[in-house]
Structure 1
């Protein structure tokens, strides 16, 4: 239901200088994330939305696209310019884009 109302772009359309907001849980973030992403779990978005820039496009990512679609819908309804990254970190990983982990092990998507 959320994915249909949230604007989306393919992972290949995310500009290198984009503000990339990762709304996954801490264990997912620790296992592997885009190097330049900003971590804000979906359940914290309401309280922390003020940290998200409102003067530029926000690209939102999760594991596969469901939670990020919810975040995009909420952000856009509140006045932000946000788009969902289709396929999430799974698509990011398949595309071979850089990932880092917080645990020191090989980055992966969980």
Structure 2
């Protein structure tokens, strides 16, 4: 085999632990924390009560604010939270991505709160 012209071996992408909304207990168990990685305006319009809010881009500098123990990570649809989970797994954290994000949460009729004084919504 000609290894000189073979492509370099690729590093395996980290496995992203993911759960569907049906796999998330309702109500959330006491030992499960929620981390919301959306931007401020998204958070203000509607979020899970008790969630910790750290926008994705701020996560590396605010790692110490991520709760210990198992953490459900959410964003609007699951893309940013998937990135956050991949990075947090590399930091040794016990995290899981919510597939479908806050849209899945809202569509399932799960409770949300708002900081705007209006009914909570996903934006």
Tell me the TM-score normalized by structure 1: 0.91
Q: Considering only aligned residues, what root-mean-square deviation do their CA atoms show, in Å?
A: 1.3
Asked if the contact 2:72/2:95 (under 8 Å) is kept, the reply is: yes
Alignment size in residue pairs: 106
**Distance across 2 between alignment mates of 1:12 and 1:100:** 21
**Distance across 2 between alignment mates of 1:5 and 1:88:** 18
1:58 corresponds, among 71, 81, 85, to 71
Tell me the TM-score normalized by structure 2: 0.81
How has the CA–CA distance of structure 1 residues 14 and 36 changed in structure 2, closer, same or farther, with 3 Å as cutoff?
farther
Asked if the contact 2:20/2:98 (under 8 Å) is kept, the reply is: yes
Question: Where does the alignment leave 5 or more consecutive residues of structure 2 unmatched?
Answer: 1-13
More relative contact order in 1 or in 2 (CA 8 Å, sep 6+)?
1
Question: Where does the alignment leave 5 or more consecutive residues of structure 1 unmatched?
Answer: none
- Over residues 32-80 of structure 1, what are the superposed CA-to-partner deviations in whole Å (9 max), with x where a residue is unaligned? 00112111100110000111133x1111000000000000000000111
Larger Rg: 2
